[in-house]
Amino acid sequence: MEARVMQVLKQSSLHIPSQVLTDQDVADRIRLDMQKRARKVRDHGVFAYTQPIAPTQNVNKGFLLNTIKSVDTHNQRQEVDACYRKRQLEQHLDDNPRRQRQRLDTRKRSRSQDRRPPSRDITASDHVHEREFWAARKALKSQAILDKVGDRMCSVDNAPAYESDEKAAKKHKKRAKNAQKKLKKLKKKRKAD
């Protein structure tokens, strides 16, 4: 990039001073313009007069240089920030189980029952009650589904014969090949007719 920057700087430093044009200078420029257009008229016809011969203004190279530099530095910052964010996320995910274990360990090590807040104190019996609650809720949902299904129970004996993914893929490929063959035959018939 440094070579590109130096090249743009050299070109932008070659500033042609503005000068007052005489009538002769203007006539010479018009004559040159007409000669250039005459060459284009031979190739493009009347449309040569609608196309510009050369750019009328110089490109603002300093502006372009600053834009290139700012875009490059912005992209570099974005890459660095993304790298740091990714690293922090990985550390957070790695540290999260350790933190949970540390919290449980600190609760167990508490000396007196008074220090622990009662809302955060979870005992083994609370875990059992919670498991029982969710198991009962799941059993109720399962029973409701069974009531809706009624006698239409699905077992291994009356289950539909589902094919494996490999067999289905093979059948699909075979059907596609057959369709392509039929299409080719139709094209040949049409071509022959």
- 86, pLDDT greater than 50: yes
Between residues 141 and 108, the one the model is more confident about: 141
- 99, pLDDT greater than 90: no
Question: What are the structural domain ranges in the chain?
Answer: 2-58
Question: What digits encode the pLDDT tens for the residues 136-175?
Answer: 888 888 888 777 777 666 666 666 565 667 777 788 889 9
CA–CA distance, 19 with 30 (Å, rounded to integer) = 17
- 16, pLDDT greater than 60: no
Report, as an integer, the average pLDDT of 61-83. Answer: 87
pTM recorded for the entire structure: 0.25
Confidence of residue 17 (pLDDT cuts 50, 70, 90): very low
Q: Give one DSSP letter per residue of 27-74, joined into a string.
A: HHHHHHHHHHHHHHHHHHGGGGGTS-SS-SS---HHHHHHHHHHHHHH
